[in-house]
Copies of this chain bind each other. A is one copy, B any other.
Amino acid sequence: MKNNISLICETLDDVRKKSPLVHNITNLVVTNVTANATLAAGASPVMAHAPEEVADMVGIASALVLNIGTLDVNLIDAMVKAGQAANHKNIPVLLDPVGAGATPLRTDSVMRIMKEVNINILRGNASEISIIGGYGGQVKGVDAVGSFEGLGDKVRETSQRLGTVVAVTGATDYISDGTRLARVYNGHKLLTHVTGTGCMASAVIGAFAAVQRDYFMATVAALSYYGAAAELAAQQAKGPGSFQVALFDSLYNLTPAALAGLVRVEIE
């Protein structure tokens, strides 16, 4: 585990040193906070969704993050175009399938993107990943409803079947590359009372994957860092408003050295 902690902290350090450009095609609710989380982590965000420019923007980016939170059909076309350009360039592509299962448009769009683009990392909540993994389950809008039994095993199975790193975030985060399975215990309950904290986690994973080609470890590192920052932020917070503000401060101020003492991760 000592090596894993070192790798987690080195990856944060690399994000800060290289400040990779992360191209986001994301939803209307979280554009501002996603950009700010990416900046606070030390990377450089760019938002661009016009079909005329997404391939060009991928051309100067180091990672691509796709988020279907307020999708429409034209936006999915742009995501596919950007995703294929990213595959061609061999930079990581993360998909955040917001609300998969809530409507046919969302579920179908996720399936279309996963068919036409090679997704390297899929991050969602338990409901979304359960639907995509074929386990069914309840959906209520874009929020998870409870979790499901044997979640770790199902994350690993889903990862094997889809051939992508799969991450389910919640009270405990589960990450698998089909072989390894990680549990990240970092995080705080207040994350569930602020909109877009899952989307922000996805963007931070994108930044980490831009500098760490082991996408499983990039995801583990990003979620441990993000969860630890949330723990620090919660100490300053009087409620969800001040928590969100403090989260940006913590993401910015948390050093690799300090992170080493906060990581709570198990990998099997």
A31 on the B face (CB < 8 A): yes
Chain B residues closer than 8 Å to A73, beta-carbon distance: 50, 52
Give, as a whole number of angstroms, the nearest-CB distance from A23 to chain B. 8
The count of identical subunits is 3
Chain B residues with CB under 8 Å of A40's CB are: 193, 239-241
Residue contact A69 to B56, C-beta cutoff 8 Å: no
8 Å CB contacts to B: which residues of A174-228?
193-196
Q: Mark A20-37, 1 if CB is under 8 A from B, else 0.
A: 010100011111110110
Q: How far is the CA of A196 from the CA of B47 in the complex (A)?
A: 12
Interface of A is mostly: mixed
Across the interface, which residues of B come within 8 angstroms of A156, CB to CB? none
A3-11, A99-107, A118-126: which lies at the interface: A99-107
Chain A interfacial residues counted at CB < 8 A: 62
B249 touches A141 (CB 8 A): no
Across-interface contacts of A23 in B (CB, < 8 A) = 141
Within the complex, the shortest CB–CB distance from A104 to chain B, in Å, comes to 6
A53: contacting residue among B45, B103, B140, CB under 8 A: B103
CB distance from A29 to the nearest CB of B (A): 5
Give A235-268 as 1s and 0s: 1 = Cβ < 8 Å from B's Cβ atoms: 0011111101111111011000000000000000
Asked, given contacts A40-B193, A103-B57, whether A50 binds B32 with beta carbons under 8 Å apart, the answer is: no
Q: List 11 A-B contacts (CB under 8 A).
A: A36-B195, A45-B141, A49-B72, A50-B70, A50-B71, A56-B105, A238-B246, A239-B252, A241-B247, A241-B252, A245-B245
